Amino acid sequence: MNAPLPTPVVTDAPAPWELVGRGYIAMLRFSPDSKVQDSFLLPSLLGKRGKSAYGWLMFVDYQSSDVGPYHELLFIPGSFPFEDGQRHLSISRIFVSSMDSVVNGQRNWGIPKDVADFDVRYGDNGLDRVAVSRNGKVFAELDFKSYPFWIPFLGALIPKRFRTLGQHHEGKTFVYTPSASGWVKPARTMRAKADPAMFPNLGRARAVLTVAIPRFRMTFPVSKIIQR
């Protein structure tokens, strides 16, 4: 009789977190009749997104964090009303390369993280490629190209309402406002495709704006938690 597999030990890393890394942000435009933005939404948020045709795709390479380095791919379909009386952006689908990040992301901020494998290749000519897989099957592929023009940014200059996110998780509402500073570069999303069974169908969207973030420092604060 085989012995049961040991339960993985997960690092307990309460908020706040300090993170350093690099990545890309793409603003996507969907057709007005598209249902892609609503895929993977929790039932509590269905029908509450409004009529915006835009969503956000992010790939992040965290070179250091409170749970060590990890990769991340996420999708934000828009903003939703939350129990604090405000509308906030909300992450509907997110994969990371670290189980420590999965568990603590759910505990600290209610973020619906899931684990996957990442193959990230940075090119000398500014062309960077990301493939995300589970059980050996690739379900998302992204190609980005950045250009050598660096601009400093300070996240505190962005109004708080545009930086605040809300999540529903296990009967609670989590509201949190990350802060960041660093550098940005103009970029293009050269290719974006995903298996719609695993991630929103990126082939149904057009990237209208993409920026590379070659270097940033970010703080994820303690969430405001509201019992639902």
pLDDT tens digits for 170-191? 999 999 999 999 999 999 999 9
Tokens 């500014």, residue located = 126
Phi-psi domain of 39 (left: phi exceeds 0; alpha: psi -120 through 50; beta: other): beta
Q: Considering only residues 217 and 34, tell me which one the structure prediction assigns the higher pLDDT.
A: 217
Split at pLDDT 50, 70, 90, the class of 51 is confident
Q: List the chain domain ranges.
A: 17-227
Cα four-point dihedral sign 112, 86, 21, 130:
positive
pLDDT at 159: 86
How confident is the model over 35-50, as a mean pLDDT? Answer: 94
User: Measuring CA to CA, which residue among 25, 54, 59, 78 is closest to residue 188?
Assistant: 25
- β-pair partners for 56: 27, 76
Return d(Cα 228, Cα 223) in angstroms, integer: 15
Q: Assess whether pLDDT exceeds 80 at residue 157.
A: no
Q: Assess whether pLDDT exceeds 80 at residue 54.
A: yes
pLDDT at 126: 86
* pTM score of the predicted model: 0.94
Q: Assess whether pLDDT exceeds 60 at residue 5.
A: no
How confident is the model over 88-95, as a mean pLDDT? Answer: 98
Give start and end residues of each alpha helix (H) in 57-182. Answer: 99-109, 160-163
pLDDT at 4: 56
The secondary structure of residue 3, as a DSSP letter, is P
Residue type at 97?
Answer: S
What φ, ψ does residue 10 adopt, rounded to 5°?
Answer: -110, 135
Return d(Cα 226, Cα 228) in angstroms, integer: 6
The fourth-level CATH superfamily of domain 17-227 is: Acetoacetate decarboxylase-like (2.40.400.10)
Return d(Cα 177, Cα 158) in angstroms, integer: 11
The secondary structure of residue 15, as a DSSP letter, is S
Task: Give, in order, the Cα–Cα distances in Å from 226 to each of 32, 102, 141, 174.
Answer: 33, 21, 36, 7
Return d(Cα 35, Cα 204) in angstroms, integer: 10
